[in-house]
Structure 1
Amino acid sequence: MTEVKRRVPLIRFKGFSDDWNERKLGEVSHIVAGGDIDKRIVADSGYPVIGNSLINHGIQGYYARTYRIKAPALTVTGRGDIGRAEARKNNFTPVVRVLAISTSINVDFLAASINNLSILIESTGVPQLTVPQLSSYKVDIPLKEEQSLIGDFLIHLDNLITANQRKLELLNRLKKGYLQQIFDQKLRFTGFKDAWHKCKLGDAATFINGKAFKQSELLDSGRYPVLRVGNFYTNNSWYFSNLELQDKFYAKKGDLLYTWSATFGPHIWAGNKVIYHYHIWKIELNNKIEKQFALELLEADKTKILNNTNGSTMIHITKNEMESKKIYIPNNNEQEKIGNFFRIIDDLVIVNQKKLKLLRKQKKALLQKIFIQ
């Protein structure tokens, strides 16, 4: 006799052993598509109007005097970030490109179930999710008590992630505020009264371009990793090189670097020896300026550049412009004090970034075990 495979997840709350029931979403829920909103019912307060931008960014937009969907319910994005589900605890009206689900299933459980599984839409044009497609989507449903426990657990986990995200945002805002006040000399540490010295940045620092590689010189493997701008931000893929170059083309742990193409800003390199790309400067400092102070001074300068630039304009920075910048620097003791202060904040930011990344990784791993794959 062939053994019937049970429909159960890898991990469960204590006391539950029944198989989950696989059903099409349309069989256990009522799904409707959002539409254009009647401007006559728009108000400053009332029932939220849910659109794609609100789902993607978790913000409130505008309101309606009446609602179309009664809570608890779900919204699912039909375009853009397709298939992203959100539990809704207040009555609302969905607009175009948003699908709404009214269901007897626990909405927190169902939202996590939908988000956990990929909805792949085959399309020759712009991908979109329709009511018939979502209705045919299969979900595994446990007893209501187990749904509720899973939903509550995931809400707690999401709240923990949100709290850490807000803490990280607060630290970044705090640092931004201190950068402005300290480098505008509106705020100083006790015991320091001497005037800051004005000079050109080029009088305290030398900016060295990295290696301009030909595509044929970038290898899939080799002796030295090639550090590119993207490796500081979102790109985890690496090229390599076997070239033996002058020492100025190598970056070692602790070197102060500056990315100046596309995405720009200062960094202290924390990795092993690499060859840094042409779109990165290595900054060599003389005894006028401390490294950590220089890092934060350049970070404050970056903020000013961004504040004075139209967000749609590509920022272009030249070596000559950097070296010609007029800067104000205090004596080395005050520089060290300022540098150490910001190092503490930077370390806190890094710790919280790692914690947030770990929490998200743990949630992803748990979802793979809490739901049937």
Structure 2
Amino acid sequence: MTTPKLRFKEFDGDWAITSLYQLSTKIGDGIHATPKYDEKGTIPFINGNNLVNGSIVINENTKRISVEEFQKYNQTLSDETLFLSINGTIGNLAFYKNEKVLLGKSVCFINLKNDIDKKFIYLLLQSPQLTKTFNSELTGTTIKNLSLATVRNSEFYCPIEEEQTKIASFLSAVDEKISQLTQKHELLSQYKQGMMQQLFSQQIRFKADDGSEFGEWEEKELKEVAEINPKAKKLPANFIYIDLESVEKGQLLLQKNIELQDAPSRAQRLLAKGDVLFQMVRPYQQNNYYFNLSGEYVASTGYAQIRTKLDSKFIYYALHEKTFLDEVMNRCTGTSYPAINSSDLSSIEMFVPCLEEQTKIANFLSAIDQKIEVVAQQIQHAKLWKKGLLQQMFV
């Protein structure tokens, strides 16, 4: 039986084997030549990286061309067109919505027949079954390539149009939920950034519990309010190692349990609760970490270890404040991998309020971070649910 594990009850019977070649009027890719770019041009020249979650996304790095240059090329696109990235980044997808864009060679266009549900094919192209087939046919070593022949001729199972529409409608609702959560996450993140700017510029001030005003903030060098890279006691025989790949945007993603005898030479920062790790290589990424875990943890010397008797969470947020980060970047050396040394970092000045106001600021921003994290987990759960549905609703 060629039927999916999970199916709407009103449908029965086998799905038919087919291919995109049979379901489409034309499948091709963008131009292989380099067009004449024009900084004042109005037509984006797009590649696979411009295909994001079903839409064409134009950014500041997207090259542009003039209308005259655009008219040199004949692109056969329609309301039934889907885009698929096939070179470098594989598998990005977007619906064509009649935008004026010129396609590069890393974008494949699929012009579907009128009786094929476009949203169903969009979801089918994300299914584990077809993704596995495409991945098995990739060529190239450094830069992967999915051939048009593979896109056209790879076979898969497909239901009748009514069932296609039913599946597409259901899974599109899941996509909409993910989109709403993603937007909520972005708005919360923007709100946090806005509040940080106002709090650290003192446009917004907290009051003491008795309603009185707090005193003026004092300007101090980081080394005056914190100890940078405190000397470690003897490292434990076994510990969890945190390197520069372990942390992303304040989240500890990887925990590597290693023996001291096998540890890299950069494993030197023995952590204590309340320590702050500041990324010294490419600090603009802001992959810093507030450490508040139990157990034996050692960090790489790629981080500055910051230990303070003040409110350590306040210091953590202060290190992300734009003025501080701008000064960090001004003191960095190197171009591809700009880095700051601990001495230069420690001499950067910051404004510091009294301990009680520090704590109020830290608690306020932590509460926003907790909300952001809850939404991030909801997004992750929704994506995992969708992945499971794609696995079971396609053959």
Question: For the Cα contact (< 8 Å) 2:270–2:298, is it kept in 1?
Answer: yes
The offset of 1:110, in angstroms, is 0.8
Cα distance in 2 for partners of 1:202, 1:319 equals 10
Alignment correspondent of 1:304? 326
1:35-58 CA distance string (max 9 Å, x none): 269879x9848xx87532321484
* 2:232 matches 1:232: no
* 2:122 matches 1:111: yes
The offset of 1:297, in angstroms, is 0.8
Alignment correspondent of 1:250? 270
Cα distance in 2 for partners of 1:223, 1:38 equals 57
Q: What letter is aligned with 2:123? A: A
Q: TM-score, normalised by structure 1?
A: 0.81
The offset of 1:115, in angstroms, is 2.1
The offset of 1:141, in angstroms, is 0.6
SS in 1 for 2:191: helix
Cα distance in 2 for partners of 1:315, 1:25 equals 47
Alignment correspondent of 1:165? 182
- Aligned match for 1:267, one of 282, 289, 295: 289
Distance verdict in 2 for CA 1:168–1:303, change over 3 Å: farther
What residue ranges of structure 1 are gaps of 5+ in the alignment? Answer: 1-5, 212-216
Distance verdict in 2 for CA 1:58–1:103, change over 3 Å: closer
Cα distance in 1 for partners of 2:288, 2:148 equals 48
- Aligned match for 1:340, one of 363, 370, 383: 363
* 2:266 matches 1:208: no
SS in 2 for 1:31: strand
Cα distance in 2 for partners of 1:89, 1:277 equals 48
Distance verdict in 2 for CA 1:77–1:280, change over 3 Å: same
Percentage of identical aligned residues: 22
Of stretches 181-190 and 97-106 in structure 1, the one that deviates more from structure 2 is 181-190
Of stretches 15-24 and 230-239 in structure 1, the one that deviates more from structure 2 is 230-239
- Aligned match for 2:86, one of 61, 75, 78: 78
Distance verdict in 2 for CA 1:49–1:325, change over 3 Å: closer
Distance verdict in 2 for CA 1:130–1:265, change over 3 Å: closer
Alignment correspondent of 2:337? 314
Q: TM-score, normalised by structure 2?
A: 0.77
Cα distance in 2 for partners of 1:369, 1:270 equals 40
* 2:177 matches 1:155: no
Question: For the Cα contact (< 8 Å) 1:251–1:275, is it kept in 2?
Answer: yes
Alignment correspondent of 1:22? 17
Distance verdict in 2 for CA 1:302–1:228, change over 3 Å: farther
Question: For the Cα contact (< 8 Å) 2:185–2:376, is it kept in 1?
Answer: yes
The offset of 1:79, in angstroms, is 1.0
SS in 2 for 1:261: coil
Q: What letter is aligned with 1:12? A: R
Tell me the C-alpha RMSD between the 2 structures. Answer: 3.4
What residue ranges of structure 2 are gaps of 5+ in the alignment? Answer: 262-267
Alignment correspondent of 1:99? 108
Distance verdict in 2 for CA 1:156–1:50, change over 3 Å: farther
Question: For the Cα contact (< 8 Å) 1:210–1:278, is it kept in 2?
Answer: no
Question: For the Cα contact (< 8 Å) 1:25–1:137, is it kept in 2?
Answer: yes
The offset of 1:293, in angstroms, is 1.2
